Structure 1
Amino acid sequence: MAARAGRELDWDGCFNVRDLGGLPAAGGRRTRPGALVRADNLDGLTEAGWAAVADHGVRTVIDLRNAIDHRPRLPRPEGIGLVRVPVDELAGNVRWWREWGHLEGTPLTWAAYLEYVPKVAASVVREVAAAPPGGVVVHCTAGRDRTGFASFVLLTLAGVAAADIAADYLLSGPNHRRAAAALGHPDQTLEIAEIQTRSGRTATQVVTDTHATFDAAAYLTKAGLPDSAVAAARERLLAPG
């Protein structure tokens, strides 16, 4: 298991990878280490990076990007499957960007996903529930926005408190800056901070407010997931009680 510090993982070719295990959850339990990893773009993984993915026990990759964005440097190793939940396509690209694109880079988009595109959350949870034995990694491009939303849904379903979800979300900021510097991309830190400031709420407040009105199990059932799938995903995420 390649790790930098705490839950952060060192996968060569990625910059923003964390195991979501070990977080306090409902009923005195904790999220299960190795069950769920959040990450940025896996396309740049080197051979050593993919070896670290496999060594961590990951057997399923959930890619939240559109298929056209998939440009892997190397093929996935045998034994690691890929499923797609193309968030932008499910949201409806043109309408989504027209109405909510100005909030990109912040958790301000999460409530809009929940209200207008329930199939996004439902699809992510369905794939986690249906995945074969082994760990699941969820990723988009930067591992912050779409991945942040998917992680929020899954951690809330597991009974993780808003404060812990927000604290995890904030870890992506420094990692994103590191990635931008390494790849020669512009640093969006100030731009994102301005968006958040104009909203009148900090990122932590937004996560807390969204969490307070989100009954994950009821929402997913209403979105069409059977109770068995909701329960299977939750139990998969939790360490034995």
Structure 2
Amino acid sequence: MTDTLDRTVYVDGLYNMRDEGGLRAGSTYLRSGKLYRSDGLHRLTDRGREQLETMNIATVIDLRDDAERLQSPSNVEGLSLTVRPTPIFQGADQVISGPDMTLTEFYTRMLDQYPAHYARVLRTIAHSGDDRVLVHCTAGKDRTGTAIALTQIAVGVVRDDVLNDYALTEKNLAGPWLDSHLEMVKHMGIQPTPAMVQLIGGSPVEAIDQTLKHVDERYGSVIDYLLAAGLTEGDLTALAAVLLAK
């Protein structure tokens, strides 16, 4: 399995940023310095803004909904990049049925309810040319995790590497990020349950593995899912062309 530890990108104010480059895809691998993933950019410090600017990221795909972007606007004004709001859903209550919902239930519901929204994310990546792309939500875990997993599978990334990449998030979010979000829950008068803690900060391999199995069983394959969602064969060819090392 590919060593994923050296792909972490340290940007001040972010907890869960990494370069997707280096993951195995058949006889090749994902290009380094092309596709990134992270948690929300609203926590960027001045130093973090400078670091992000030097990375020459041209396109930021923000998967958060309108309310999240209004409440926690990304601290990127004035940077040399374009933000493309591409919400997977509008309001978490549209997909989260309760505090004891499992991650697999959450993910499969998102995928089943919003295939066209995922297709839009992948289409933007596919037609990004040489531009560097960053995909993020709030944690860089659920919406980002499922979108990135679909992207990886679509271009042939080895399944073990897809699972391992997703699982890195839990370690990255542990500590200050998770603690601050649990405090917000407590301030709402809610005592976090183990299931809620998992929903907020967990990224067990089983969650994404079972989600991908659901896609295979219900739609035939990730490729079949994406084609039904509105991507074309040309989009998928373009996706592989921009992401895979030559």
TM-score, normalization: structure 1? 0.81
Q: List aligned pairs for 1:92-131, cutoff 5 A.
A: 94-98=93-97, 102-103=100-101, 106-131=103-128
CA contact (8 A) 1:19 1:36 kept: yes
Q: 1:67 to 1:132 in 2, by over 3 A?
A: farther
Indicate conservation of the 8 Å contact 2:24/2:157, yes or no: yes
Instruction: Note if 1:82 corresponds to 2:88.
Output: no
Post-superposition offset of 1:203? 3.2
Provide the residue aligned with 1:190 in structure 2.
194
- Aligned AA for 2:59? T
Matched, 1:173 2:177: no
Structure 2: runs of 5 or more not aligned: 186-191, 200-204
Does the aligned pair in 2 maintain the 1:162–1:207 contact within 8 Å? no
- CA–CA distance in structure 2, aligned partners of residues 176 and 15 of structure 1: 6
**Per the alignment, do residues 178 and 118 of structure 1 end up closer, same or farther by CA in structure 2, a change over 3 Å counting?**
same
Q: Which residue of 2 aligns with 1:45?
A: 44
Cα 1:74/1:33, change in 2 over 3 Å: same
Contact 2:7 2:19 in 1 (8 A): yes
Say if 1:113 and 1:120, in contact at 8 Å, map to a contact too: no
1:144-182 deviations in Å (ceiling 9; x for gaps): 111111111111112112211111111111211224367
Count the aligned residue pairs. Answer: 227
C-alpha root-mean-square deviation of aligned residues, in Å? 2.9
Query: Following the alignment from structure 1 to structure 2, what is the Cα–Cα distance between the partners of residues 219 and 184?
Result: 33
User: Residue 12 of structure 2 aligns with which residue?
Assistant: 12
What secondary structure is seen at the aligned counterpart in 1 of 2:95? helix
Partner of 2:188: none
Percent identity reads 28
Q: Judging changes above 3 Å, is the alpha-carbon distance between structure 1 residues 73 and 204 closer, same or farther for their aligned structure 2 residues?
A: closer
CA shift, 1:211, in A, is 6.6
Measured against aligned partners, the alpha-carbon deviations of 1:181-210 in whole angstroms (never above 9, x if no partner) come to 674744979335777xxxxx9336425634
* Partner Cα distance (1:206, 1:115) in 2: 14
Give me the whole-angstrom Cα distance separating, in 2, the residues matched to 1:97 and 1:181.
19
Q: Structure 2 length as normaliser, TM-score?
A: 0.79
Change (3 A) 1:216 1:194: closer
Is the contact between residue 163 and residue 208 of structure 2 (CA under 8 Å) also seen in structure 1?
Answer: yes
Q: Is the 8 A contact 1:61 1:80 kept in 2?
A: yes
Distance 1:146 1:157 in 2: 17
* One of 221, 233, 237 as aligned partner of 1:231: 237
Q: Given the alignment of the two structures, is residue 25 of structure 1 paired with residue 25 of structure 2, yes or no? A: yes
Assess, with a 3 A threshold, how the Cα gap between structure 1 residues 194 and 239 changes in structure 2: closer, same or farther: closer
